[in-house]
Amino acid sequence: MKLNVADQINVECYEKQETSGGLWNYTWRTGTDLYGEHVHSSMYTNLWLAGPKEGNEYMDYSYKDHFGKLLPSYVPREIALQYVNGRLTKGKCGDMKSLVHFRHVVTSVEYDNDADHFTVWIRDLPGNKDNKEIFSHVVVASGAFYVPNSPSFEGICSFPGRNIHSYDFREAREFAEQTVLIVGSSFSASEIAVQLIRFGAKHVIVTYRQHPVNFKGTRSIEERPLLQRIDNNTIHFKDGTSADVDAIILCTGYLYHYPYLKGGLKFDTGVPVCVMPNKMYKGTVYTQGGNNKLLFIGPFESYVSFSLFDVQARWVYKYILGQLPNEPSTREEMMKSVCEWQGRFATLDSIFAKITFQKDMLIMLAKDVGYPTEYVERTFAVVFQCVSDRMENTWTYRSKAYRTVFTDEQSPAPEVRWDESMDDDKLVKQYTD
Amino acid sequence: MKLNVADQINVECYEKQETSGGLWNYTWRTGTDLYGEHVHSSMYTNLWLAGPKEGNEYMDYSYKDHFGKLLPSYVPREIALQYVNGRLTKGKCGDMKSLVHFRHVVTSVEYDNDADHFTVWIRDLPGNKDNKEIFSHVVVASGAFYVPNSPSFEGICSFPGRNIHSYDFREAREFAEQTVLIVGSSFSASEIAVQLIRFGAKHVIVTYRQHPVNFKGTRSIEERPLLQRIDNNTIHFKDGTSADVDAIILCTGYLYHYPYLKGGLKFDTGVPVCVMPNKMYKGTVYTQGGNNKLLFIGPFESYVSFSLFDVQARWVYKYILGQLPNEPSTREEMMKSVCEWQGRFATLDSIFAKITFQKDMLIMLAKDVGYPTEYVERTFAVVFQCVSDRMENTWTYRSKAYRTVFTDEQSPAPEVRWDESMDDDKLVKQYTD
């Protein structure tokens, strides 16, 4: 099962889930899976991508390559899942899926300073066996949206209704006819708010800490400043108002959490996921582990997931092979760059500032590996446009269609508005026929 | 922070939760906690002990010692929590609580065969630090009811209502006016069924695999043989009937799951929790780890938790000190006994058979450590009586009162029937004033 990349790196890839597709896989299970492992996916039924596919496409395998035609810019979850799985099995490298050890969970990664290598424990879940392997480098590519950040509020303990984190949200129809409080104002919050109304919730109140979402054109959704306390089923907000609700959904983001990284390798556990993970050189090399060989792909609140992960993967590959001669080799040198980026990170005060920050980081990585920066520029142009369209109208922004980044083609507008197409399966069938 | 037991054992005790009381602590959180760790507690509000306190009492610290008076036999969760915490701080050994490392989670236990010791990784959660310690023995006493067993059923993926495991059940009032399907027929199933009706559910259907609970005297609860498939919100049962439900609660038990036990130490991961954990000598010594020094307290589906854990703790203590001279020292000898017990375990066909099995195991351990077996007999007599009373009437059995095991006193009958006392806090206040 050794994968030989360019005859130079032996790679072993362990994946906890039973198949590929990461968090794009939907499961009805919450909390723990069949094997008692933490459920990785936070998907819900009828989820649509919040961003357009043009901002989430791979240079070497397009949506058109996979589906044989141009699809509208905004698509349901299943389309993204089929697309990433298509690249894995039919992309430039051939069938990569068969090389992955599925249902194998990494349970411990420890660095041995004297031997200068990592000891990795892997559990074969169905086989119920543990094995120890030695590696020179470890790449953590397990995503960042699977351990919920659930802040507490006064009185939450005795709230008589349902109270979950968006990680456990599976099905909007469960909240039909209800009044639901959503805590948060980022993507999960606004997406779940409209999803609830789409599937019959009576009323949704979105409570924000800093900035309202501004649900222009949105029926039955109102916004209020942060909740202060909960008294039975009555929520009291910062502006002195109150409201009775049936359920609470915490859309309060995720925590960095890598329990298998031991000793000095532990990284930012318990810190909310953001665009600049702490002490991470170029968002990729962990600098505090007594080595520079623990690498990360995608440990971000990300706005352009696919191209960001792709470029980071290329960077990691070249870094391990020593093909990035200008990179510093010591922790001290790396930390100079880290401090600069962290300094800038501390000043970010809007979503546009965060997106620009991520764009600049991606351009830096792209330059290192020879990935055309014009593609990065164009990808982010689509993202900026999407975020603006979304701010303009949370309900209708998915009717927009953008030009593809890599082939500069105009994607078609959808035939039906996303929220009026209640049967995603039918639509997926139409797109994939 | 070393605890010196009888000047002979240095003990370090690590506890993931922020305070003592184990699963008797209630949290509104489901899935993961503040630190992203798996939530340990599966408590729900207004839970009452399914068994009488006379069957769950410590020989060296009685409920009367703690509360200053005899309480009725059946009590709400908070009473059990106060009682176990009372023993920890005011019991015969003085304040033991201050010796526990709270908010410290054990993340890895590995046995080194050459050195004949365990390497244990411990994470200080608020401090976000990992430390490695060496131990000659490891005692796993983390309980067995925190990783849900969630079997799948045809069509469950597209069920439009709420679908949770009892591990995530927090509040019966969330299901007011609803029709709820409960899967399972053991304690969680029957307790949650009556709890749902107690707090306003319209109708509860309990679907069983082998034996019905038989809810005599119970309003609005019916039983049907195992569900076969789910078609939208319609449940189809084995007897050909069907029913529409609003929500599903899987009361399908728990899995053994100790992800931190590495290599040969891994134990029965993914197997449902039962009265005879696999390859475990006297239910206490794990025989497959290349050593006989990985010990367990309480890895059971248990009917007499407190005295069972107490006797097992006494046994473990003497075993580590070499004060059990008749115990075999090799794995092979231990396996002879294991095979006998496992053979008998395979024949158990009723709850009474399982209880008798556990009683016999506890008597064996009690004899080893000099714990009076008459107390074991009397504890189990109470348990048998309780189970019979419960079978007689699921609603009224908590009005019964039993004699205490250790002091042979008659506990008083409750003033109000448990399900008519809707305010547990008020009752707890009355009991603890």
Say which DSSP state B61 is in: B
The answer to whether A218 and A198 are in contact (CB under 8 A) is: no
pLDDT of residue A8: 76
- What residues of B are in contact with residue A29 (Cβ under 8 Å)? 150
The per-residue pLDDT for range B397-420, each reduced to its tens digit, is 999 999 999 999 999 999 999 988
pLDDT of residue A190: 93
pLDDT of residue B329: 85
pLDDT of residue A181: 98
The answer to whether B179 and B243 are in contact (CB under 8 A) is: yes
Phi, psi of A343 (to 5 degrees): -60, -45
Q: Which of A3-12, A123-132, A423-432, B186-195 comes out lowest in average pLDDT? A: A3-12
Give the pLDDT band (50/70/90) at residue A422: confident
pLDDT of residue A11: 94
- From chain B residues 159-198, the ones with a CB under 8 A of any chain A CB are 159-165, 167-168, 170-171, 173-174
Greatest extent of chain A over all pairs of C-alpha atoms, in Å: 66
Is residue A189 predicted with pLDDT exceeding 50? yes
Report CB contact under 8 Å: A34, B173.
no
The per-residue pLDDT for range B286-320, each reduced to its tens digit, is 998 889 999 999 999 999 999 999 999 999 999 99
Report CB contact under 8 Å: A164, B130.
no
Hey, is the C-beta of A428 within 8 angstroms of any chain B C-beta?
no
Q: How far apart are CA B47 and CA B424, in angstroms?
A: 9
Q: How far apart are CA A107 and CA A100, in angstroms?
A: 17
Report CB contact under 8 Å: A160, B174.
yes
The secondary structure of chain A, three-state, reads: CCEEECCCEEECEECCCCCCCHHHCCCCCCCECCCCCECCCCCCCCCECCCCHHHCCECCECHHHHHCCCCCCCCEHHHHHHHHHHHHHHCCCCCCHHHEECCEEEEEEEEECCCCEEEEEEEECCCCEEEEEEECCEEECCCCCCCECCCCCECHHHCCCEEEEHHHCCCHHHHCCCEEEEECCCHHHHHHHHHHHHCCCCEEEEEECCCCCCCCCCCCEEEEECEEEEECCEEEECCCCEEECCEEEECCCEECCCCCECHHHCCCCCCECCCCCCCEECCCEECCCCCCCEEECCCCCCCCHHHHHHHHHHHHHHHHCCCCCCCCCCHHHHHHHHHHHHHHHCCCCCHHHHHHHHHHHHHHHHHHHCCCHHHHHHHHHHHHHHHHHHHHCCCCHHHCCCECCCCCCECCCCCCCHHHCCCHHHHHHHHHC
Hey, is the C-beta of A396 within 8 angstroms of any chain B C-beta?
no
pLDDT of residue B154: 95
The per-residue pLDDT for range B349-367, each reduced to its tens digit, is 889 999 999 999 999 999 9
Query: Which residue is it, tokens 């900035």?
Result: A211
Hey, is the C-beta of B422 within 8 angstroms of any chain A C-beta?
no
Hey, is the C-beta of A229 within 8 angstroms of any chain B C-beta?
no
Average pLDDT (A254-265) is 90
CA distance B102 to chain A (A): 17
Report CB contact under 8 Å: B130, A161.
no
Is residue B5 predicted with pLDDT exceeding 70? no
- What residues of A are in contact with residue B173 (Cβ under 8 Å)? 160-161
Q: How far apart are CA B257 and CA B40, in angstroms?
A: 12
Is residue B3 predicted with pLDDT exceeding 50? no
- What residues of B are in contact with residue A37 (Cβ under 8 Å)? 259
Report CB contact under 8 Å: A31, B167.
yes
Question: What's the whole-number average pLDDT of chain A?
Answer: 93
Average pLDDT (B86-99) is 94
Hey, is the C-beta of A255 within 8 angstroms of any chain B C-beta?
yes
Count CB neighbours of B420 within 10 A: 9
Hey, is the C-beta of B121 within 8 angstroms of any chain A C-beta?
yes
Return the sign of the alpha-carbon dihedral for residues A297, A298, A300, A304.
Answer: positive
Is residue A84 predicted with pLDDT exceeding 50? yes
pLDDT of residue A107: 93
Average pLDDT (B201-224) is 88
- What residues of B are in contact with residue A132 (Cβ under 8 Å)? 262-263
pLDDT of residue A3: 45
- What residues of B are in contact with residue A168 (Cβ under 8 Å)? 30-31, 168
Cβ burial, residue A356 (10 Å; 0-12/13-18/19+)? middle
Q: Which of A1-5, A111-115, B192-196, B215-219 comes out lowest in average pLDDT? A: A1-5
The 3-state DSSP class for residue B108 equals: strand
Report CB contact under 8 Å: B34, A147.
no
Question: What's the whole-number average pLDDT of chain B?
Answer: 93
Give the pLDDT band (50/70/90) at residue B284: very high
A203: β partners = A179
Is residue A48 predicted with pLDDT exceeding 70? yes
Report CB contact under 8 Å: A259, B107.
yes
pLDDT of residue B218: 66
A216 vs B234, higher pLDDT: B234
Report CB contact under 8 Å: B266, A125.
no
The answer to whether B360 and B275 are in contact (CB under 8 A) is: no
pLDDT of residue A264: 85
The per-residue pLDDT for range A52-81, each reduced to its tens digit, is 999 999 999 999 999 999 999 999 999 999
Count CB neighbours of B202 within 10 A: 14
A396 vs B378, higher pLDDT: B378
Is residue A141 predicted with pLDDT exceeding 70? yes
Q: How far apart are CA A146 and CA B400, in angstroms?
A: 46
Is residue A217 predicted with pLDDT exceeding 90? no
> Which of A431, A386, A396 minimizes the C-alpha distance to A78?
A431
Phi, psi of A240 (to 5 degrees): 90, -10
**B interface mutation test: which of A150, A179, A258 has the most B CBs within 10 A?**
A150
User: CA B254, B257, B260: angle at the middle one, nearest 5?
Assistant: 160
Nearest CA in chain A to B262: A130
Is residue B216 predicted with pLDDT exceeding 90? no
Report CB contact under 8 Å: B32, A156.
no
- From chain A residues 374-393, the ones with a CB under 8 A of any chain B CB are none
pLDDT of residue B327: 94
Report CB contact under 8 Å: A129, B29.
no
The 3-state DSSP class for residue B371 equals: coil
Strand runs labelled E in B226-303: 227-231, 234-237, 242-244, 247-250, 280-281, 285-286, 294-296
- From chain B residues 59-88, the ones with a CB under 8 A of any chain A CB are none
The full length of chain A comes to 433
- What residues of A are in contact with residue B123 (Cβ under 8 Å)? 259, 266, 269
Q: How far apart are CA B194 and CA A24, in angstroms?
A: 38
The partner residue sitting opposite A160, judged by closest CB among B34, B160, B173, is B173
pLDDT of residue A103: 97
- Using CA atoms of B199, B201, B207, B212 in order, give the dihedral in degrees to the nearest 10: 50
Hey, is the C-beta of A262 within 8 angstroms of any chain B C-beta?
yes
pLDDT of residue B2: 46
Q: Which of A229-243, A261-275, B83-97 comes out lowest in average pLDDT? A: A261-275
Nearest CA in chain B to A163: B28
* Structure tokens belonging to residue A340: 């600069």
What ipTM was estimated for this complex? 0.80
User: CA B376, B381, B387: angle at the middle one, nearest 5?
Assistant: 125
Residue A266: what residue type?
A: K
- Using CA atoms of A350, A351, A357, A361 in order, give the dihedral in degrees to the nearest 10: 160
Average pLDDT (B39-64) is 95
Report CB contact under 8 Å: A108, B37.
no
Average pLDDT (A137-157) is 94
- What is the layout of strands, in order, in the sheet containing B138-140? B138-140, B294-296, B285-286, B280-281
Give the pLDDT band (50/70/90) at residue B148: very high
**β-strands A162-165, A138-140: how paired?**
unpaired
pLDDT of residue B128: 86
Is residue A336 predicted with pLDDT exceeding 70? yes
Nearest CA in chain A to B249: A29
Report CB contact under 8 Å: B262, A132.
yes
A58: β partners = A61
A265 vs A308, higher pLDDT: A308
Give the pLDDT band (50/70/90) at residue B321: very high
- What residues of B are in contact with residue A45 (Cβ under 8 Å)? 158
- From chain A residues 306-365, the ones with a CB under 8 A of any chain B CB are none
B106: β partners = B122
**pTM of the entire predicted model:** 0.88
Residue B213: what residue type?
A: V
Count CB neighbours of A249 within 10 A: 25
pLDDT of residue A6: 53
pLDDT of residue B303: 93
Average pLDDT (A364-382) is 97
The answer to whether A79 and A69 are in contact (CB under 8 A) is: no
Report CB contact under 8 Å: A34, B148.
no
Is residue B1 predicted with pLDDT exceeding 50? no
The per-residue pLDDT for range B327-343, each reduced to its tens digit, is 998 999 999 999 999 99
Report CB contact under 8 Å: B32, A147.
yes
pLDDT cut 70: percent of chain A above it: 98
> Which of B259, B188, B213 minimizes the C-alpha distance to B44?
B188
The per-residue pLDDT for range A32-46, each reduced to its tens digit, is 998 999 999 999 999
CB pairs under 8 A between A and B: 156
Greatest extent of chain B over all pairs of C-alpha atoms, in Å: 66
* Structure tokens belonging to residue A25: 């896989």
CA distance A128 to chain B (A): 7
Hey, is the C-beta of B34 within 8 angstroms of any chain A C-beta?
yes
